[in-house]
Amino acid sequence: MTEGTRATDGIRAASVDDVEPGEALVLPTELTGTAEPISLFRDDDGSWYALDDTCSHEEASLADGWIEAGEVECPLHSARFCLRTGEALCLPATKPVRAHRVEVRGDDVFVMPGVEARTT
């Protein structure tokens, strides 16, 4: 991974080959410029998403969770979140996590921290 830039067109977070379907990569705050790490997810269908990495229920990395069918399941207490919107889908989580826009450009994946994810 190369260092990202904080341009309005996003931060180069990874190459498409860096993350297998069903896996995630934690982007450190030094790269994103955010207060919390952001996780870059590649769903089992190959779609890309980015969410704040910390579960809204308790301190756990969502990147360590189960990723499938547009959802990530927290590894600690099995709360599930929508990868597209960050919405909490079941208890014990009741609050969403922030979703960030992701774009694939050629072989590179860019994340736009703080820019609302496209939900369509």
Residues ≥6 apart with Cβ < 8 Å to 90 = 78, 79, 80
Measured CA to CA in angstroms, residue 57 lies from 1, 22, 36, 53, 89 at distances of 30, 22, 15, 12, 12
Where does the pLDDT of residue 8 fall: very low under 50, low under 70, confident under 90, or very high at 90 and above?
low
Give the closest residue to 99 by CA, choosing from 69, 66, 70: 70
pLDDT at 80: 98
The domain made up of 11-115 is a member of CATH 2.102.10.10: yes
Q: Which of 71, 82, 65 is nearest to 43 (CA)?
A: 71
- Give tens-digit pLDDT for 56-97: 999 899 999 999 999 999 999 999 999 999 999 999 999 999
Q: At residue 7, does pLDDT exceed 90?
A: no
118 pLDDT higher than 80: no
- Dihedral in degrees, nearest 10, Cα atoms 64, 69, 73, 78: -150
Alpha-carbon distance values, 53 to 43, 75, 96, 99 (Å): 15, 12, 12, 10
Q: What is the average pLDDT value for the chain, to the nearest integer?
A: 92
Instruction: Quote the CA–CA distance of 110 and 96 in Å, as a whole number.
Output: 22
